[in-house]
C-alpha cells in the first residue's frame, strides 16, 4: 500500500495492526519474531522479509516473486552467456597488426613487477610522529608519566617549530 510522504507500507505478518515502511521491514520482523515466540511462522528461503505461516510455506515457495531472481542466479542460462568473439584488428607489442577473433597473447610482455622484492624501508608511524608536528596522546600511563609526557611534547613541538622556521 502506498502512503503519501512515507512510501510503500507493508503489513506485519505477526500483527496486522503493524504497518511498516518497506525499507524497515527486516528490522521490524526481528523485533516482532522475539515478541511473538509462539507464532508458527517460517521465513521464505528466497527473501527473508517474507514470513508466512508454516502451513503455507510450500505454496509460498512455489509462487514467491523473488524465486525468479534466485533461480536465475543459481542456474545460469546458456543464452545469457558471453557474446561470441568478433573479428577485430589488434596491434602487437612490436607494432604489427593482426586480424583475429581474440587478442593475440603470444607476444604480450610478461609483467615482472613484484612488490614483495622492494627494498623500501618499512613505515614506522612512531618515528614519523616523533619527527613531525603531530599531536600525540598519552595513553596507559600514570598521572606523573602523563605530566612528563606532555612536558616532553611541548619541548619537542617547540624544537620542531624552530627547525621549520
What is the per-residue pLDDT for 106?
53
Domain boundaries, the chain: 9-70, 125-164
Q: Looking at the whole model, is its pTM more than 0.75? A: no
Is the CB of residue 29 less than 8 Å from the CB of residue 38? Answer: no
Alpha-helical segments (H) within 8-142: 25-35, 57-63, 67-74, 125-130
32 closest CA partner among 47, 19, 45:
19
Residue 29 burial class via C-beta count within 10 angstroms: exposed 0-12, middle 13-18, buried 19 and up? buried
Mean pLDDT by 10 residues, the chain (165 residues): 79 90 89 90 88 91 85 65 60 70 57 74 89 92 96 94 86
Is the CB of residue 63 less than 8 Å from the CB of residue 44? Answer: no
What is the per-residue pLDDT for 55?
92
Amino acid at each position: 500500500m502506498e502512503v503519501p510522504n512515507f512510501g510503500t507500507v507493508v503489513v506485519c505478518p505477526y500483527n496486522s495492526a503493524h504497518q511498516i515502511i518497506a525499507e524497515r521491514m527486516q528490522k521490524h520482523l526481528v523485533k516482532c519474531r522475539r515478541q511473538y515466540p509462539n507464532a508458527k511462522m517460517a521465513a521464505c528461503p528466497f527473501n527473508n522479509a517474507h514470513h508466512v505461516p508454516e502451513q503455507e510455506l510450500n505454496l509460498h515457495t512455489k509462487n514467491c516473486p523473488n524465486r525468479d531472481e534466485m533461480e536465475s542466479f543459481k542456474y545460469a542460462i546458456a543464452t545469457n552467456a558471453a557474446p561470441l568473439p568478433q573479428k577485430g584488428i589488434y596491434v602487437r607489442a612490436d607494432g604489427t597488426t593482426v586480424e583475429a577473433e581474440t587478442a593475440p597473447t603470444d607476444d604480450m610482455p610478461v609483467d615482472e613487477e613484484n612488490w614483495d622484492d622492494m627494498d623500501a624501508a618499512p613505515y614506522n608511524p612512531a618515528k614519523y610522529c616523533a619527527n613531525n608536528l603531530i599531536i600525540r596522546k598519552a595513553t596507559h600511563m600514570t598521572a606523573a608519566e602523563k605530566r612528563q609526557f606532555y612536558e616532553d611534547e611541548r619541548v619537542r613541538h617547540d624544537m620542531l617549530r624552530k627547525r621549520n622556521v
